[in-house]
Amino acid sequence: MRSGMTKGFRDVTFVFLDRDGVLNRKPPTGKYVTCWAEFELLPGVEEALRRINRSGRKAIVVTNQRGVALGLYSLEQLADMHERLRLGLVAHGAQLDAIYVCPHDDGQCDCRKPMTGLFEQAFRDFAEARPANSVMLGDSLRDIEAGRRIGMRTVLIDDGVGAPTAEDLQLARALADLAVPSLENFVDHYLCAQHLL
């Protein structure tokens, strides 16, 4: 973990979030969430997003969904999952401001993290967003590398299972500005902690 970044993120306006492993339980390596029945929201996510929303910040999902390229589910099925996610969050007083998806396999595009295409699209759609006022939260080395490439601060959701190998996890920990056990922990202690507001 890089030093000097753990006193709070008060200047952050745009919170970029990976999906699997940050918002919902990540399946084992090589497996995918292929339908809503397999989608399990992680504890504390609704409240964490509600606090992000209430603080005036934007919550933006940037997610690799290679399962589409592999034919495990369609873009339409993925859109249905995300609509159900949105509706479930709204029922708990929370919202996502945007969801950006890469449905491609490795080497097919410039949007699959650790490439930065999804972030560039978000910066076009949100005129005030820029690396300096954004943070990327993810549970894998790809997430941290993508955030760093675009120039954002990065936060590793470190539950010990996000990276496919121990080496990847160790490298992600070294590259990230901060490592926390959950989105809820980050919001409570670094983003919306009462003493920072």
The fold of 14-196 is Rossmann fold (3.40.50)
Residue 5 has pLDDT above 80, yes or no: no
Distance CA 146, CA 132 (A): 15
Res 192: pLDDT: 82
pLDDT in tens, 66-95: 999 999 999 999 999 999 999 999 999 999
Res 9: pLDDT: 87
Which DSSP symbol is given to 131?
A: G
Q: If pLDDT is split at 50, 70 and 90, which confidence band does 29 have?
A: confident
Cis preceding-peptide flag for 43 (omega within 30 of 0) = no
Residue type, 84: R
- The average confidence (pLDDT) of the chain is 92
Res 6: pLDDT: 46
Res 4: pLDDT: 46
Nearest to 149 by CA among 113, 178, 183: 113
Distance CA 98, CA 59 (A): 7
Res 194: pLDDT: 57
Q: What separation, in Å, do the N-terminal and C-terminal C-alpha atoms of the chain show? A: 25
Which residue out of 11, 20, 177, 188 is catalytically annotated?
20
CB count in 10 Å sphere of residue 197: 9
Distance CA 142, CA 136 (A): 11
Whether the Cβ atoms of residue 11 and residue 133 lie closer than 8 Å to each other: yes
Residue 164 has pLDDT above 80, yes or no: no
Distance CA 53, CA 49 (A): 6
Helix (H, G, I), strand (E, B) or coil at 128: coil
Res 18: pLDDT: 98
97 is catalytic: no
pLDDT in tens, 32-58: 999 999 999 999 999 999 999 999 999
* Lowest-confidence region among 142-146, 148-152, 161-165: 161-165
Which residues have a Cβ under 8 Å from the Cβ of 19 and sit 6 or more positions away? 61, 63, 99
Res 160: pLDDT: 64
20 is catalytic: yes
Which residue out of 11, 18, 143, 177 is catalytically annotated?
18
